[in-house]
Each structure stands twice: as structure tokens, then as C-alpha cells.
Amino acid sequence: MVDTTAPTTTAMREVEPSARPRAVRKPRGILVPLWLGYVFLYLPILIVVIMSFNASENLFVWKGFSLRWYPELFADEKIMQGLGNTLIVATGATAIATVLGTLLAYGIQHYTRGGLIRAFAIAPAILPDLLLGIGLLTLFSLASVTLGLHSVILAHGVFATAFVTAIVLARMANLDPSLEEASRDLGAGAVRTFMRVTLPQLAPGIVAGALLAFTLSIDEFVIAFFTTAPTQPTLPIVIYSMVRFGVTPEVNALATILLLVSVVTVIAAQRLTRLTGTTR
């Protein structure tokens, strides 16, 4: 899951940019490559969104506006089964990751000195998804675990945990340690201090981590591909086989909805982290 952690953590850090005086005035042309870059990034997505409102079944010919693919999408049993499976997996993996990741982040921040445990906890984010996917397939098959949604949940829990850990750790660095010290001085134990003092302060960061873990799991293909049973495909696997064996325009409608969900999630998570940044 190399691809996913990096952008968020960097983008998150960006939420509180250090106000610094602008440097030498730059020529206008400097924005041209940026706009071209955006064209490159958004043109393909835009086409899919536009074609989701196409009246024709032909993916390459525009025949006027229609909303027909949206009801057809919801009538498609395969896609709906995939969606249901994906939501189950994402919920399960997020639940595991939120609990384990938050605890790990707290433990790492308070009880470890070297970076070893931290590196281990964040490693799944850097490990190639392919390696994790076939590794888990091998493990499950050796242990005679029947593949299904439960095995995907366990697999997704791995990178999702790394992700939540990283985000909560980053937010924890912003907390005021004197509150925890005060709690300890007043006689509360480690667990009680964590539950009563640290957790409430961390809440927005944890929610942001959970949201992003959820989004990641919804989108994840490779690991799910190796760890699920053919009868229990997640949504990305359904899309994969559709793209492989013939696309229907419903995919455009699905893409548009997924795009909307991602936009809302990313902006919500971004807001939340800004919130944590300022609770200090």
C-alpha cells in the first residue's frame, strides 16, 4: 500500500502552512504547467462523469442527456453484491484498524524510544500490496482458512492499522503533554489517563484516520483479489472483471458516485485534521 499513505500525511501537514513571506515575484507563466497537470489529472475522470449521463449505450458516442444508468446501476445484482461486500469489509477493517492503530500510536508515543516498533507498525503502508496479498493467501491456505469476506477483513486490517497509527501519531505530536501529566499526578493510572484525557483530545484525529482507512479499504483491489473467494468479490474486483470482460455504461454511473464519495470523505478528513491542529 505504498501509494496511499504518503499523500494524505503530507497533505495533512499542509493544513497549517507556516505563514512565510512570499519570495521574489514569479512570472505568470509558472502556473501553466500546473494547469496542464490538472488537465491531465482530471480529463479522464471528467469524461467518465460526463458519459455517465449519456443516453446511448455506446461508450464512445454522446447521444444526449439521460439519467438511465443510475437506476440500472442499482438494479445490477453483481455490482450491488460487490458494494455490499465492500462495505462489510471496509467496516470490519476500519473497526480493527481504529482500535489497534489508536492503541499502537499511544503506546509508541509514550513507551518506545527507538524507531523500531514505530517502523514495524507503519511498515504495511510501505510494503508492496502484491507481497502482502500473496503472503496472506499463502498463510490462509496453509492454515486451511476458507477464504471469504472475513479473510479480506483481516488482510485490510493490516494496512488500515498502519494508516490509522501514522495519522494518530502525527496528531498526538500536537497534544499538550501537561494534561496527561496532571492526570497522572492526580493518581490516575495509564489506562484511565488514556481513556479520560488522551482519547477525547485525539478523537478528531482518530475519526480522520478511520475515515481514510475506510476509503482505502473501499478502493483496495490487489490484496482483496488474493484473499477473497471468487464467490465473494468486493466492488473493485467486480469492476475489474467488468473492465476485463466488457463494460456496460453503468460503470460510468458507479464511477461518478464513487468519485463523489471520495471527494466528500477527503474534504471531511481534511477539515477534521485541521480541527485537531487547532485544538491545542
**3-state SS, one letter per residue, for 110-121:** HHCCCCHHHHHH
Task: Collapse the DSSP code of 15 into the 3-class scheme (helix H, G, I; strand E, B; otherwise coil) and give the result.
Answer: coil
Q: Based on CB atoms, which residue is closest to other proteins, 43 or 173? A: 43
Q: Which residues contact residue 209 at a Cβ distance below 8 angstroms, ignoring those fewer than 6 apart?
A: 97, 98, 101, 102, 163, 164, 166, 167, 168
Shortest CB 89 distance to other proteins, Å: 14
Shortest Å distance, C-beta 154 to other proteins: 6
Minimum CB–partner distance for residue 141 and other proteins (Å):
6
- Binding part of the chain for other proteins, among 64-72, 73-81, 201-209, 238-246 by CB under 8 A, reads 238-246
The span from the CA of 160 to the CA of 13, in Å, is 19
> What track of x and - describes contact with other proteins for positions 186 through 225 (by CB under 8 A)?
----xx--x--------------------x--xx-xx---
CA distances from 38 to 4, 46, 47, 233 (A): 19, 11, 14, 33
Positions in 16-75 near other proteins (CB under 8 A): 17, 19-24, 26, 30-31, 33-34, 37-38, 40-45, 47-48, 51, 59-60
Q: Which residues contact 265 (CB under 8 A, 6 or more apart)?
A: 211, 212, 214, 215
> Of 125-164, which residues contact other proteins (CB under 8 A)?
126-132, 134-139, 141-142, 154-155, 157-158, 161-162
Given phi > 0 = left and psi -120 to 50 = alpha, else beta, which region is 36?
A: alpha
Q: How many residues are listed for the chain in this entry? A: 280
Question: Considering the complex, what minimum distance in angstroms separates the CB of residue 77 from other proteins?
Answer: 19
CB of 38: closest distance to other proteins in angstroms? Answer: 6
Q: Does 76 bind other proteins (CB under 8 A)?
A: no
Judge whether 164 and 203 are in contact, CB under 8 Å. no
String marking each residue 93-132 x if it binds other proteins according to CB under 8 A:
---x--xxx-xx-xxx-xxx----x--xx-xx-xxxxxxx
Pattern 251-280, binding to other proteins, x per CB under 8 A? Answer: x--xx--xx--xx-xxx--x----------
For 34-62, b where at least 16 C-beta lie within 10 A, e where not — what string?
A: eeeeeeeeeeeeeebbebbbbeeeeeeee
* 14 near other proteins, rule: CB under 8 A: yes
Q: Which is nearer to other proteins, 204 or 270 (CB)?
A: 270
